[in-house]
Amino acid sequence: MQGAGAPGGQGRAPSRPGALSRPRVLLLTYLLTTLDLTCLFMQFSVLPYLSRRLGLDSVAFGYLQTVFGALQLLSGPMFGRIQCPVLVALVANLLGAALSVTYIPASTKGARAGPPGGPAARVFDLRAVSRLLLQPGVLPVFLVKVASGFPSGLFMVMFSIICMDFFRLDSAQAGYLMSAFGVLLMVIQGLVIGRLSSRFSEAALVRASVLVLSLVGLAMALMSTVFHFCLLMPGLVFGLCLLNVVTDSMLTKAVSASDTGTMLGLCAAVQPLTRTLGPTLGGLLYRGFGVPAFGHVQLAVNLLVLLALCRQPTPRKADKVR
């Protein structure tokens, strides 16, 4: 039986004292992600009500969220004053960091970071990012991911304000709604997406996700009560999950193994980009045109994306296997 450091052990994680097996590493990764998102949404659910108590309107709250997105995008280690939810999030993330350092391997892939004898890769290498985006089949998929998901991101950024002003919910009721959103996200992403991926091509699934988001945009434009939102919420979660999972899969498979990390970083940067631009745009859109404007924008953008996708030839099944 070969060790992780043996020549034949490529692709295995390096063994070290206390390291977990691959299934347990995946389980711990899911646990840490759940912990992180729970703490993040704990803060999101409290912040709008606190900002309203401090006298901020929807546009000012949008500016506040823009600052948050910019800091997240730049990975700036900046923290505000401790509220109870922030303190709980701090302790939980410290626990997650301790578990990560103790049990998760430093490397889970056997591929080299670059060609032998080549220059060491820099952390902020815009030339490498541009090279990846210009590879065949990468830029169109990345643009679809950004364009199709951005209108929904605008709505979700302003969702807490919409819960207060449009749905007239208190903080507890908004929390219940976000919990239902999280449960739907977990069920659809864990039980539905994988089965669809095994039966349909990735191109077909991307088109389906854009079509669903278009229909959700139409329903959102007609929405007037929280009951209407509960009816369209499964479609919204399904469309976003399908779009993100399939486009991430397509993008990572389009590049070499050594570029997978960079591509995953680009995919992960889409959400901070939305949180940087979205709050200001969403605040102005909400104040100027109301909640139906989010549905109109989502419908129009996704219909344009769907039209562009339908004009592209559908790849054959053999192309997918290769």
Q: What is the mean pLDDT of residues 232-251?
A: 91
pLDDT tens string 190-199: 788 888 888 9
CATH of 23-100+136-311, one of 1.20.58, 3.90.550, 1.20.1250, 1.10.10: 1.20.1250
Q: What is the mean pLDDT of residues 285-309?
A: 93
Share of residues in the chain with pLDDT > 70 (%): 68
Report which of residues 63 and 319 the model is more confident about: 63
* Nearby residues of 160 by Cβ (< 8 Å), 6 or more positions away: 44, 45, 47, 48, 49, 174
So what's the pLDDT on residue 310?
87
Nearest to 129 by CA among 33, 264, 29: 264
User: 59-68, 101-110, 291-300: lowest mean pLDDT where?
Assistant: 101-110
CB atoms within 10 A of CB 148: 26
User: 15-19, 22-26, 57-61, 151-155: lowest mean pLDDT where?
Assistant: 15-19
**Is the confidence at residue 306, as pLDDT, over 60?**
yes
Tokens of 53: 């108590």
pLDDT tens string 265-290: 788 778 777 877 887 888 888 888 99
Cα 85 to Cα 115, 256, 275: the distances in Å are 46, 41, 20
- Nearest-angstrom CA–CA distance, 247 and 235: 18
pLDDT band at 173 (very low <50, low <70, confident <90, very high): confident
Q: What residue segments make up the domains of the chain, in order of their start?
A: 23-100+136-311
Answer for the pair 19, 13: CB distance below 8 angstroms, yes or no: yes
Report which of residues 215 and 135 the model is more confident about: 215
Helix, strand, or coil (residue 144): helix
**Is the confidence at residue 224, as pLDDT, over 70?**
yes
**Is the confidence at residue 57, as pLDDT, over 60?**
yes
